[in-house]
Structure 1
Amino acid sequence: MENLLTDRQFWVNYWESKDGLTVNIPSNYLFHQELGEIINKQGVRTAIELGGFPGYYAVFLKKYFKLDVTLLDYFVHQPVTNALLEANHLKPSDINIIETDLFNYQPIQQFDLVLSCGLIEHFNDTTDIINRHIAFVKRGGTLFITLPNFKALNGWFQKSFDRENYDKHNIDCMDPKLLADICKKAGLEVVQSRYFGNFSLWLENEQQKPIGIRLLKKTMWFVGKVFTKIFPFNSKMLSPYIILEARKM
């Protein structure tokens, strides 16, 4: 339990606070280009999304790439996932669902692609959680992990105006070199580990924040977007995400 920065009740409360979970996932969904290249180049047929409720990436991979997809999380509210599938013209049977604690589960199957988006930063022991991902990757398969970069301006904003949410994240793990080194020590070939995206800001449950904070966020978001539109680049100080791609040889 000392490894956890969140618990099941945190995620129950988190998802119950969300509106608009049922969305039509677009073909240009975040990280679509990176995932598409992996799938096409590596001949991916099977994939698992870890910690991904309600299953946006599982739906994306099924909808646009027709993969055999599994979603694993220790909190899955089936009606929400079913509504998401229906909104994307899929059936409940189109995605395999495993509701379990990742720390008490032994993989019975390995996959061509193992991905998580916004999971590993909720644990103190980064090596341990990445190795749990690797256990699902078949030989020749790909590990793809994304996480927020709270060492960027976005992190300052979270720390300043949503400290409770900021404290649910392991800031130390937000380091591309650290992530690459963990994979290398586990015997994986690191394809890329880098900052991703030019600029973005966000707040959880933004509409519940004071209007002054919301206006400041909108102003900073607009200025940052204009600046990085003119001067597009990935950087530690501005990029909102980190991506890790590694191959199990």
Structure 2
Amino acid sequence: MDNLLTDRSFWVNYWERKTGLSVRIPANYLFHEQLSAIIKGQSVKTAIELGGFPGYYAVFLKKYFSLDVTLLDYFVHPPVTRGLLEANALKEEDIHIIETDLFSYVPEQQFDLVLSCGLIEHFKDTADIINRHIAFVKPGGTLFITLPNFRALNGWLQKSFDRENYDKHNIGCMDPRLLERICREAGLTVVQSRYFGHFSLWLEDEQQKPAGLRLFKKALWLVGKVFTKIFPFNSRQLSPYIILEARKP
């Protein structure tokens, strides 16, 4: 499909080379404050995580908020999801799993909360992928999307030292104003669309990178952490993420 910056074989290879996926999800998992505020403020009962294999956020929402949770992805490896559920004292039936192509699947139900974390940036047509999210949102429900900010220093690191990974991302979609405009044009009320996080750096498969690069990355990370500890702020230049929250009328 021309809209894709990745394909199924990319994700099969990506997940098959990962180890230690069955981890215990903590209560202070990334974006926990934002999700908690949505769930409590909007009386959320049902949620779906799109493109979320192995299902970390689905597990988080079930484990700490007891929501009726669904995970949808076009690659799901059952042993990994089972291991993740067991690591978090959950049963297989605690999470509904749909393995399908988001571009051919017609939603059979809508949800109070629709979220994806690190999905939309892998597609060329940002409006199209966001509107596919919106199709899952109930009237009155919430859309919550997060994505990396590769327009920040972290993006420079990726572009300079892992160009193959960098090129799997649509850098153009990493713009809060663009995301806000797409949602408004779709009839949603935008609650927030902004850069998030003071500073962070990462590299895919970091332990396989040359020692010199790992040391350089660590030095940058330490300098950035110290600086943003003294001067904490969200910005395009340093924030590692973008978050979008919008409501459907």
1:150 corresponds to? 150
Q: Report the TM-score when normalising by structure 1.
A: 1.00
Report the TM-score, using the length of structure 2 for normalisation.
1.00
Q: Deviations over 1:149-208 (max 9, x none)?
A: 000000000000000000000000000000000000000000000000000000000011
Q: What residue in structure 2 maps to residue 94 of structure 1?
A: 94
**CA deviation after TM superposition for structure 1 residue 57, in Å:** 0.0
Residue 2 (structure 1) aligns with:
2
Check if 1:232 corresponds to 2:232: yes
Q: What is the alpha-carbon distance in structure 2 between the residues aligned to residue 17 and residue 42 of structure 1?
A: 39
Write out per-residue CA displacement over residues 44-83 of structure 1, whole angstroms, 9 at most, x where no aligned residue.
Answer: 0000000000000000000000000000000000110010
**Structure 1 residue matching 2:217: 3-state secondary structure:** helix
Once the two structures are TM-superposed, the CA of residue 88 in structure 1 deviates from its matched residue by 0.1
For 1:215, give the aligned amino acid.
L
User: How far 1:140 sits from its partner (Å)?
Assistant: 0.2
1:103 aligned counterpart, secondary structure: coil
CA drift at 1:17: 1.2
CA distance in 1, matches of 2:20, 2:226: 28
Matched, 1:206 2:192: no
- 5+ residue gaps, structure 1: none
* 1:19 positional shift: 1.2
Task: Determine whether 1:191 maps to 2:195.
Answer: no
1:143 and 1:91 mapped to 2: Cα distance?
A: 27
- 5 Å matches for 1:94-243? 94-243=94-243
Whether 1:63 and 2:63 are equivalent positions in the alignment is yes
Offset from partner CA, 1:114-165 (integer Å, 9 cap, x none): 0000000000000000000000000000000000000000000000000000
Question: How far apart in 2 are the matches of 1:18 and 1:198?
Answer: 27
- CA deviations 1:60-116 (Å, max 9, x no partner) are 000000000000000000110010000000000000000000000000100000000
Residue 72 of structure 1 is matched in structure 2 by 72
CA distance in 2, matches of 1:165, 1:137: 31
| Alignment partners' CA distance in 1, 2:17 and 2:150 | 22
Following TM superposition, where does structure 1 have runs of at least 4 consecutive aligned residues deviating by more than 6 angstroms?
Answer: none
Matched, 1:37 2:37: yes
Percent identical across equivalent pairs?
80
| Corresponding residue pairs, total | 249
> Equivalents in 2 of 1:17, 1:178: separation in Å?
34
CA distance in 2, matches of 1:44, 1:222: 38
SS at match of 1:35: helix
Alpha carbon RMSD of aligned pairs, Å? 0.3
Structure 2 CA distance for aligned equivalents of residues 97 and 188 of structure 1: 27
Runs of 5+ consecutive residues of structure 2 not aligned to the other structure: none
- Code of the residue aligned with 2:245 in structure 1: it is E
SS at the partner of 2:72?
A: strand
How many Å separate the matches in 2 of 1:211 and 1:66? 43
Q: Return the offset for 1:11.
A: 0.2
Looking at structure 1, the residues matched to 14 and 222 of structure 2 have their Cα atoms a distance apart, in angstroms, of 27
Q: Secondary structure at the match of 1:104?
A: coil
> Which amino acid in 2 is paired with 1:130?
I
What secondary structure does 1:29 align onto?
A: coil
